[in-house]
Structure 1
Amino acid sequence: MEETLLYLVGIIIAIMIAPVLIKKTFLWVRERRMLKKLSQAGMQDIDKMDGHQFEVYLKALLKELNYKSDVTSGSHDFGADIIMQKDGKKVSIQAKRYRYKNRVSIDAVQQVYASMPYYKTDECWVVTNSMFTKSAIKLAKACGVKLYDRYALADLINRSKATIKAKDIKNTVEPEERKCPVCSGKLMQRKSKEGNQFMGCSNYPKCNHTEPVAK
């Protein structure tokens, strides 16, 4: 009788634990797939870019997807960083290279949507290596703005089978020029002994200020 009771208790515990184990296994498998997808897309190199390098990379990627650059002037002043065309359709794009934990807000959606009449575009996108806030997603859906978050961008890169690699852009394209906040000198991209890139002051060794390329 006692053995039977213990057996039944064991079965009940197993039934209770099984859903938790299944859920944990599912989440673990999904996380591994996501990490593999991001790695294949070179997201670790995109995360180390500054905003200018990210724009250059996106333009190169879209060209491999048969988009053509549309010549514009001062696009940063009118809500779009990149203007591209394909199949007679014109697209205005805002590129947001953020730290992973910093989510892209509703402002980006408002700005790129407002760029459409100025550039006479048919579509508008916001592309980021990060994620979007709930309000940004909600407004984008209402306005028809396409959002490419970290995982959607990785999908786009992997599907395209692009020959251009994020690492190549990161290593060859100079970051946007910055001033040293300490001495007002010019910050230049440099490489440490370990091979890591950073921004260092042109007045070194008088000024030792450094900062990451991706702020």
Structure 2
Amino acid sequence: MARRKSKAKQEEELFQGLAGMAMLGGILGTYSLTKSWQPSIIVGFVGVVGIIILMVIIQQKRAERLKRSGITEIDKMDGVQFEHYLGHLFCSQGFKAEVTKAAGDYGADLVISKDGKRIVVQAKRYKKNVGLKAVQEVQGAKAHYRANGAWVVTNSNYTEQAYQLAKSNGVRLIARDELVEMLLVMKEKFSASKKAANAKRTA
């Protein structure tokens, strides 16, 4: 089954395609004006160099963003550490979070609640793509815990089968890209509250 591309990968491929079209347009445009291949090739070469520089800058910014989020630390965690970390993450979003027992969790690693709604969450700290089993288990947990919603959260991605089953069963899948966004928001909130506390102490 084909792997669904991440948002970052899709954006990178789109940028490469647009950059390639712009470079080709520059070469053809220069030739149509000068009727000479020499300046056209020079324009093409400059365009290639410019594209490479832009791609390096984009990769550097992406690497800095990932470092800021702390996702690399999550990649080194074991499953239990990941579950507890997600508990802190959801608490920062205003949820009340409870990590279930390691044995006999009935398919839910966490149960979170807010505004009278309960959601069961399965945490998958994986190196490979998460498959159908996680979606099936969390759907079963939803019924067992009488929850309103069911989520699966991973530091990786999902198989296309998992995406299809989740869609038909109303299960929310949070993959690496969305998790990074959530982590960055949590870090910003923590930083803002820390600055506010320091300001109060110095006032």
Category of TM-score, reference length = shorter chain: 0.5 to 0.7
1:31 matched to 2:85 = no
**Structure 2 residue 156 is matched with structure 1 residue 130:** yes
User: Structure 1 17/92 Cα, relative in aligned 2: closer, same or farther at 3 Å?
Assistant: farther
Query: SS of the counterpart of 2:164?
Result: helix
Q: Runs of 5+ in structure 2 lacking a partner? A: 1-30, 192-203
How well do the aligned residues superpose, as a CA RMSD in angstroms? 3.0
Unaligned runs of 5+ in 1: 165-215
Could you tell me how far apart the structure 2 residues matched to 1:120 and 1:37 are?
Answer: 38
Q: Which residue of 1 aligns with 2:179?
A: 153
The answer to which structure has the higher strand fraction is 1
Identity of aligned residues (%): 34
The count of corresponding residues between Structure 1 and Structure 2 is 158
1: distance between equivalents of 2:82 and 2:55?
Answer: 30
Counterpart of 1:66?
A: 94
Contact persistence 2:120–2:150 (CA under 8 A):
yes
Of the structure 1 ranges 25-34 and 42-51, higher mean CA displacement relative to structure 2 is found in: 25-34
Which amino acid in structure 2 is aligned with residue 127 of structure 1?
A: V
Q: What letter corresponds to residue 87 of structure 2 in structure 1?
A: K
For residues 1-215 of structure 1, what are the structure 2 equivalents within 5 Å?
A: 8-13=36-41, 24=52, 27-70=55-98, 76-99=104-127, 102-160=128-186, 161=188, 163=190
CA distance in 1, matches of 2:88, 2:77: 15
TM-score, L = length of structure 2: 0.65
- Asked if the contact 2:84–2:99 (Cα under 8 Å) also holds between the matched residues in 1, the reply is no
Partners of 1:144 and 1:11 in 2: CA distance: 57
Q: Distance in 2 between matches of 1:33 and 1:12?
A: 32
Aligned counterpart, 1:207: none
Structure 2 Cα separation of the partners of residues 155 and 120 of structure 1 = 29
- Normalised TM-score (structure 1): 0.62
Cα deviations by residue, 1:108-160 (Å, 9 ceiling, x for unpaired) = 11211221111111111111111112221222223222111112111001112
Aligned-partner Cα distance in 2 for 1:111–1:9: 62
Deviation, structure 1 residue 14: 5.2
Larger helix proportion of the pair: 2
